């Protein structure tokens, strides 16, 4: 566990004149409410990142010609601050999100951000907004850092100016279903990403490309799309904006990272927890036909998606072309349940953190 380092900060704070009323924590939903303040830092070519500051939450004024609107030069992250039973607040693996965002910046030709300043920005902002960290079960404060290209120029090249911003949103469960197993639809027309592209980084364009399939699936009553690889159209990649896991014949399998899959912090945490328990874990190719064969022969024991927003989301049914399979009788599997409990116990500070994942803010 790492303690908070209170540094003499270079971050200037301008407080909001009037604070907003807090939303009803029983009806938070996900990503609908934003706190009183946000963090901002600017980048200009020749100067670098400058003027880190916390200001009242509010609209940006940027030119319609700002490059982000035309060429989608943008990256983002998502992590959470959790309220412990003793009233304290903690972060889960923030260094991993910071490192991943710098990897995203690198892929999108955006200048990287000093990781220490990045962490300090998160800690200073969350500490200032600590009254916004909800305490109802399963609620948290979602932290959304992002960078947008702001150079006013219609012409394809890397922008010479950027805004780095962090906003905060008190959230409840990501899916209305809660821990109830979701139905997923295997998409065979659109693809999300290909190797060499940007599938392994969090950049807005990846998500814009998934909306159509998501809407089609939702109209048919599914909550998520399961993506297949863009070349062979048969290897399983991810489910919605979560990584995916299967327990097949005693083995916990998740698709290996290969350039088209987002390297989830929750995915990595699942690998470490499962190995810690002595489970057999493999990161490998999983053919969709192999999955259905396993399901039909009774070897597909459990399936779940994982990500910061939804934590662990059990999968109860999978539909591919005209085939359909039920997982674990549509119930949450025992290992899925145990993983959910262990991970959330560490995140909310109900259990020891043997992995050194927690940063306490108090
Ligand atoms: C964010 C994200 C994930 C999950 O990553 P976490 O770090 O666990 O939140 C998985 N897939 C996609 C496409 C994502 O955007």
- Encode pLDDT of 43-96 as tens digits: 999 999 999 999 999 999 999 999 999 999 999 999 999 999 999 999 999 999
User: How many angstroms does the Cα of residue 113 sit away from the middle of ligand 1?
Assistant: 20
| Alpha-carbon gap, residue 287 to 71, rounded angstroms | 34
The candidate with the shortest Cα–Cα distance to 77, out of 16, 119, 28, 24, is 119
| Alpha-carbon gap, residue 178 to 82, rounded angstroms | 18
Q: Which residues pair with 48 in a beta bridge?
A: 44
Say if residues 243 and 257 touch (Cβ distance below 8 Å). no
- Ligand 1 pocket check for 202: Cβ under 6 Å: yes
- Ligand 1 pocket check for 104: Cβ under 6 Å: no
User: How many angstroms does the Cα of residue 123 sit away from the middle of ligand 1?
Assistant: 22
- Which segments in the chain show pLDDT lower than 50? 1-8
Tell me whether strands 182-186 and 224-228 are parallel, antiparallel or unpaired: parallel
Q: Which numbered atom of ligand 1 lies nearest the CA of 307?
A: 8
The reported pLDDT for the residue numbered 4 is 43
| Secondary structure (3-state) at 204 | helix
| Alpha-carbon gap, residue 135 to 78, rounded angstroms | 19
- Ligand 1 pocket check for 78: Cβ under 6 Å: yes
Q: Where in the chain is the domain with CATH 3.30.470.10?
A: 8-171
The reported pLDDT for the residue numbered 69 is 98
Q: Which residues pair with 49 in a beta bridge?
A: 43
Rg of the chain over Cα atoms, rounded to whole angstroms, equals: 21
Q: What is the pTM of this model?
A: 0.96
Residue with tokens 């916004």: 132
User: How many angstroms does the Cα of residue 106 sit away from the middle of ligand 1?
Assistant: 18
User: How many angstroms does the Cα of residue 64 sit away from the middle of ligand 1?
Assistant: 30
The candidate with the shortest Cα–Cα distance to 57, out of 17, 98, 30, is 17
Tell me whether strands 280-284 and 251-255 are parallel, antiparallel or unpaired: parallel
The reported pLDDT for the residue numbered 177 is 65
User: How many angstroms does the Cα of residue 257 sit away from the middle of ligand 1?
Assistant: 12
Q: Which residues pair with 168 in a beta bridge?
A: 143
User: How many angstroms does the Cα of residue 307 sit away from the middle of ligand 1?
Assistant: 5
Residue with tokens 């951000």: 113
- Ligand 1 pocket check for 210: Cβ under 6 Å: no
- Burial level of 279, CB count in 10 A (0-12/13-18/19+)? middle
Structure tokens at 161: 């100016």
| Alpha-carbon gap, residue 74 to 347, rounded angstroms | 28
| Secondary structure (3-state) at 196 | coil
The reported pLDDT for the residue numbered 174 is 79
CA 334 to chain centre: 24
- Ligand 1 pocket check for 241: Cβ under 6 Å: yes
Q: What count of other Cβ atoms lies within 10 Å of the Cβ of residue 197?
A: 18
The candidate with the shortest Cα–Cα distance to 242, out of 304, 286, 307, 179, is 307
Say if residues 104 and 36 touch (Cβ distance below 8 Å). no
| Alpha-carbon gap, residue 57 to 77, rounded angstroms | 18
CATH of domain 8-171: 3.30.470.10
The candidate with the shortest Cα–Cα distance to 192, out of 292, 259, 245, 269, is 259
CATH of domain 182-347: 3.20.10.10
- Burial level of 208, CB count in 10 A (0-12/13-18/19+)? exposed
């Amino acid at each position: 566990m790492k303690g908070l380092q209170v540094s003499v900060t270079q971050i200037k704070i301008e407080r909001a004149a009037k604070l907003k009323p807090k939303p009803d924590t029983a009806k938070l939903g996900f990503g609908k409410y934003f706190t009183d303040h946000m963090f901002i830092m600017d980048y200009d070519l020749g100067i670098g990142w400058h003027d880190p500051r916390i200001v009242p939450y509010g609209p940006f004024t940027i030119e319609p010609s700002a490059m982000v609107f035309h060429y989608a030069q943008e990256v983002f992250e998502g992590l959470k601050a959790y309220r412990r039973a003793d009233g304290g607040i903690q972060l889960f693996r923030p260094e991993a999100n910071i490192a991943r965002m710098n990897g995203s910046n690198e892929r999108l030709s955006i200048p990287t951000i000093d990781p220490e300043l990045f962490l300090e920005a998160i800690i200073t902002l969350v500490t200032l907004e600590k009254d916004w960290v909800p305490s109802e079960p399963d609620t948290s404060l979602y932290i959304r850092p992002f960078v947008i290209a702001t150079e006013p120029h219609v012409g394809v090249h890397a922008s010479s100016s950027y805004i780095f911003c962090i906003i905060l949103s008190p959230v409840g469960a990501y899916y209305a279903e809660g821990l109830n197993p979701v139905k997923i639809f295997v998409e065979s027309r659109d693809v999300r990403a290909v190797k060499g592209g940007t599938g392994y980084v969090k950049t807005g364009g990846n998500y814009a490309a998934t909306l159509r399939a998501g809407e089609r699936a939702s109209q048919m009553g599914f909550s998520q799309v399961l993506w297949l690889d863009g070349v062979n159209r048969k290897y399983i990649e991810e489910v919605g904006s979560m990584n995916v896991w299967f327990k097949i014949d005693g083995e916990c399998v998740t698709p290996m990272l290969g350039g088209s899959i987002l390297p989830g912090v929750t995915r990595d945490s699942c690998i470490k927890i499962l190995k810690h328990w002595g489970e057999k874990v493999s990161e490998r190719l999983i053919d969709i036909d192999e999955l259905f064969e396993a399901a039909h022969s009774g070897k597909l024991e459990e399936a779940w998606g994982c990500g910061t927003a939804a934590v662990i989301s059990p999968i109860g049914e999978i539909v591919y072309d005209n085939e359909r399979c039920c997982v674990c009788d549509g119930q949450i599997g025992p290992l899925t349940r145990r993983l959910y409990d262990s991970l959330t116990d560490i995140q909310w500070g109900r259990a020891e953190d043997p992995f050194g994942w927690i940063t306490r803010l108090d």
